[in-house]
Structure 1
Amino acid sequence: MYKSIHMANQGNMKMAMVAPQIAIVSPLFCVSYPVELNVVRKMVTLRDSNFAVVDVNGNVIFKLKGKYLSLHDRRVLLDATGLPILSLRQKMFSLHSRWEVFRGDSSDSRNLIFSARKSSLIQFRTELNVFLAKNKSEHLYDFKVIGSWLEKSCVIFSGDSTIIGQMHRKHTVESVALGKDTFSVTVNPGIDYAFVVALVAILNEIHESGHD
């Protein structure tokens, strides 16, 4: 299922060192080498989504589909075959733009994996605190996202301040010609890249809603 991304990044395998695994969504999305992904917004070839994640060869790995008729504002992260990987739901009446992420197409609290919210109501830069489902007290965050969404420059840290991934803007002739908004995401070895993509998707939704 995820052969394409593994083949696209296999050139990094020889120089990669064994890294501790952080599997938030699934170990299937953890590899022992850096993963390079491109996020393409406003992709004209996607009929039901304007947010796609492609590998270095342009193969679609994930796409984000909206469910606008649901009670909550929901998005579903699908893999290349259309299989639901994660369901992202914006929590109603949340001052800090809180999003909850569930396994598959579920919205059942038993399938909650993590939640993310703005660290403060007023921000001069993008800053999200991320809490795993088992972190009931939320006194300390498990992960943190810091940067500037408008500049497409953000860094994702674990709770001990270790960088696990980052994003930056990517300018290409294709993106300029087709009016696409494209940026890159680098996920460090051993890190769940589906988890990192979900965080980027949440940043996108917060920006789209004008709450950044």
Structure 2
Amino acid sequence: MTNVVPIVSKLYCCASETVFVVRRRPNVVNGGGFVVSECGSQRVVFRVDGCGVHGTKGELLLRDANADALLLMRRKRGMVEALSIYKNWKGYSLEYEGLQNLVFSLKEPNSCLVKNNGIQISTEPRVDSKKSRDFEISGYFPAKNCSIVDTSGNIVAQVGVKKEVEKLMESKDLYHVVVKPGIDQAFVFGVIAILDYIYGESTRC
């Protein structure tokens, strides 16, 4: 049986491996961001609105296929972050009543002292309470060759790996993501939205 890892919701945990195509929107269209579709059916599953939608830097929104808000990603700012060795992002699930519940935190190195540690992700509640993190980013996102890896070294999601769309990868506006069975797909694309912003791509104002 597949081990289910719900972070945003078990509704987004599929029992089989799923391949998605990500198509970026220009910043001039609805504030930028990207659209996520299933590779085979081309059915739209998620949409990420760039910070240009609200005019607020460091704030991104993941929506479902019906355009309902699922996840708000927000970067912490202020003097505390300026002095910190990490830049911190928080991912909040959005309830129907408008309530925001913290579901994950992402730490981006902000100092040469931690550059080798890479980007680290922890969930709420923690997947592995014995570790300082639950997931980390391996590889380089701008090259579309990176993975989300758990504390045991298992790849839970991978960017840019399927050869059948390799020709389309020549377009900077199109890439793909493979999500392993049982992994929360909404969480994966929340993380990818932050990576997109960090590296100044479609979600950046």
Offset at 1:54? 1.1
Tell me: higher relative CO, structure 1 or 2? Use CA pairs within 8 A at least 6 residues apart: 2
Alignment partner of 1:196: what SS? helix
Cα distance in 1 for partners of 2:156, 2:145 equals 14
Give 1:113's match in structure 2, choosing from 103, 107, 112. 103
Cα distance in 2 for partners of 1:207, 1:126 equals 17
- Where in structure 1 are there 5+ consecutive unaligned residues? 1-17
- Where in structure 2 are there 5+ consecutive unaligned residues? none
The question of 1:156 aligning with 2:148 is answered yes
- Sequence identity (%): 25
- Are the aligned partners of 2:19 and 2:179 in contact in 1 as well (CA < 8 Å)? yes
Q: What is the RMSD of the two structures over their aligned residues, measured on CA atoms?
A: 3.3
Partner of 1:86: 71
Offset at 1:156? 1.1
The question of 1:145 aligning with 2:137 is answered yes
Give 2:122's match in structure 1, choosing from 118, 131, 136. 131
Cα distance in 2 for partners of 1:190, 1:158 equals 13
Offset at 1:74? 1.2
Partner of 2:48: 64
User: One-letter code of the match for 1:201?
Assistant: A
1:134-192 deviation line (CA, Å, top 9, x unaligned) = 45x9961111111111211111111222221111175445x76xx65211111111111
The question of 1:52 aligning with 2:35 is answered yes
TM-score, reference length from structure 1: 0.74
Alignment partner of 2:160: what SS? strand
Cα distance in 2 for partners of 1:202, 1:195 equals 11
Give 2:194's match in structure 1, choosing from 168, 182, 202. 202
Alignment partner of 2:4: what SS? coil
Alignment partner of 2:45: what SS? strand
Alignment partner of 1:20: what SS? coil
TM-score, reference length from structure 2: 0.77
The question of 1:183 aligning with 2:175 is answered yes
